[in-house]
Amino acid sequence: MKHYSRFIVVWLVNSILIYLANSLYPSPFELGTATVSRAFAPFLAGLLLTIICKLGKFLTIQLKIELKGRYAKFAYYWLVNSAGLWIIARLAPLSGFGVSSYYWAVALGFFVNLAQWCVRQSFKRAGK
């Protein structure tokens, strides 16, 4: 059950940050397409980003990449989140999320990564 609750919390945090990014900066971030409603797009994009992050973790295990220290992990997951956001944005007709440039994806990736780190720390403190 612990694994599912973490996944859902990270998914919700990702979705909220994607929604806030569009609310605060509507020019570089776009939500909704002809096939995906504006209300559903942050949840779908947040789910896809959460799955990409899980795949990033799986990749480190499969390739036996050792990320030593907080900074190395933070940098790796910042890269994973930024690339994930960019990939999701390139699939905008399916995901409902668009980004005007890679720089905005990198910036949002930083804040998403920071929020995910805070969620992980709160789960560690709660002993879950």
Per-residue pLDDT tens digits for 82-128? 999 999 999 999 999 999 999 999 999 999 999 999 998 898 888 75
CA-closest candidate to residue 89, choices 22, 16, 29, 17: 29
DSSP 35: S
Domain total of the chain: 1
Among the listed ranges 18-32, 33-47, 114-128, which one has the minimum average pLDDT value?
A: 114-128
Q: What's this model's pTM, rounded to 2 decimal places? A: 0.91
Provide the pLDDT confidence category of residue 1 given band limits of 50, 70 and 90: low
Q: Are 57 and 6 in contact (CB under 8 A)?
A: no
Q: In Å, what is the CA distance from 46 to each residue of 18, 25, 87, 124, 126?
A: 7, 17, 12, 22, 24
Domain that holds residue 26: 2-126
State the pLDDT confidence band at 23, using cuts at 50, 70 and 90: very high
Tokens of 123: 């789960």
Using alpha carbons, list the distances in angstroms from residue 24 to 54, 89, 90, 110. Answer: 27, 18, 21, 16
Place of tokens 């944005």: 89
